[in-house]
Amino acid sequence: MSSQTRQTVVCVVGTRPEAIKMAPVIRALRASSWARCRVIFTAQHRDLVAPVFEFFGVQPDVDLDVMRPGQSLADLSNRLLASLHDSLRREDPDFVLAQGDTTTVLAAALASYMLSAPFGHIEAGLRTHRLDSPFPEEANRVAVSHLSTLHFAPTTAARENLLHEGIERASIHITGNTGIDALHLAARRDSPLGAKLDPDKRLILVTVHRRENQGEPLRRICESVRAIHESFEDVEILWPVHPNPAIGPVVAEIVGGLPRVRLVEPLSYGSFVTAMKRSALILSDSGGIQEEATALRKPVLVLRQVSERDEAVRCGVARLVGHDPATIVAETSRLLGDAVDGRPLAQAESPFGDGRAASRIVSIVKKSLNPVRSKAVRA
């Protein structure tokens, strides 16, 4: 197929999780003969995303550079919408793709809608059914679902959520999660961790980044980590600290001086996957880690009150513990005891996919487009 007849598919990426989960899709599009893939980077997470692009061999075509010091969520939203609208109008895409639930994704969906450009939502249908948790992600993904042309649901449960909200059945496709595609690629390598760890101790991996866990919840999580450190002398704790200034100083104050707690800069994606593979237990408020831990058969204590990934809980890998120190320490003790006893963590296959989600998504997008699309007149 000649370059003149290839159709333009724009992939919008803003944050580190989006870069990880979009990378397999971008690679599949760029390997195809029918698509001209363009990547717009909003730079919500500039420093965190650059190593991910490098790891997967993906580079953006457009950098919008939207972040400003101290800007509010409203300021960010306005800047993203205006910048993406202008950029997409110049690209004149046949199709737009974005993944997840950030402000970048909502702005991409809105800009596509305003330009009458078909929009595909990757990882569609995740719900906690509470608009305040996570904030603002739950509201973002609900809104995006009603602006999308195609919905790429990772699981059956995600599809049911969309159907319950009145989304047309024919527009929903169960593809699996592209994060598992990325994980399969990364797990083939062992990347350096950048921290000297004792091979004779069990590793606990900790991450915290969500808005709802800032402030007092973060202090309680840190107190839990301190208590775990005191209770289990055979445990070493690795905590890649998120660069948000609301997180680092609190973590350093409460657990920074503990001899078996390693506070490090955010790990590259490859190094983080290696850390997950080596861990005995993961404590995290990340959604993506729940999926990855399930695929790797690693227990994860979810530092949230609710989760949009109930599949991880149902298959026995994840447990919701919130930020109550007593609950976190008790569940840690139970799971570390299970590991010693050799009890199986989970019997079922991962509900989040088989590592071929990206190829399914690209195939569906291709089928949805006419071989030659005449461009609509846009405002």
DSSP code string of 216-283: HHHHHHHHHHHHHHHH-TTEEEEEE--S-TTTHHHHHHHHTT-TTEEEESPPPHHHHHHHHHH-SEEE
Catalytic residue among 27, 121, 209, 323: 209
229 catalytic residue (yes or no): no
φ, ψ of residue 263 to 5 degrees: the values are -90, 120
Q: One-letter amino acid identity for 207?
A: T
Strand partners, 292: none
Q: 123 an active-site residue?
A: yes
**Sheet of strand 300-302, all strands in order from the earlier edge strand to the far edge:** 261-264, 235-240, 202-207, 281-284, 300-302, 318-320
Catalytic residue among 242, 260, 262, 323: 242
Cα–Cα distance, 137 to 154 (Å, whole number): 17
Give kind and range of the element (H or E) at residue 134.
none
Cα→Cα distances 166→159, 161, 163, 184, 256, Å: 11, 9, 5, 34, 49
Tell me: cis bond preceding 245? Omega within 30 of 0 counts.
Answer: no
**Who contacts 262 (Cβ-Cβ below 8 Å, separation ≥6)?**
195, 197, 236, 237, 238, 239
Considering 123, 236, 291, 331, which one is annotated as catalytic? 123
Task: Determine which one of 18, 137, 285, 311 is catalytic.
Answer: 137
Structure tokens belonging to residue 361 = 């998504």
Active site residue 137: yes
- One of 184, 211, 278, 356 is an active-site residue; which one? 211
Dihedral sign (CA 241, 246, 250, 252): positive
Cα–Cα distance between 193 and 212 in angstroms, integer?
Answer: 28
Closest by CA to 318, choosing from 342, 352, 271, is 352
Catalytic residue of the set 94, 101, 291, 331? 101
The set of catalytic residues is: 101, 123, 137, 209, 211, 242
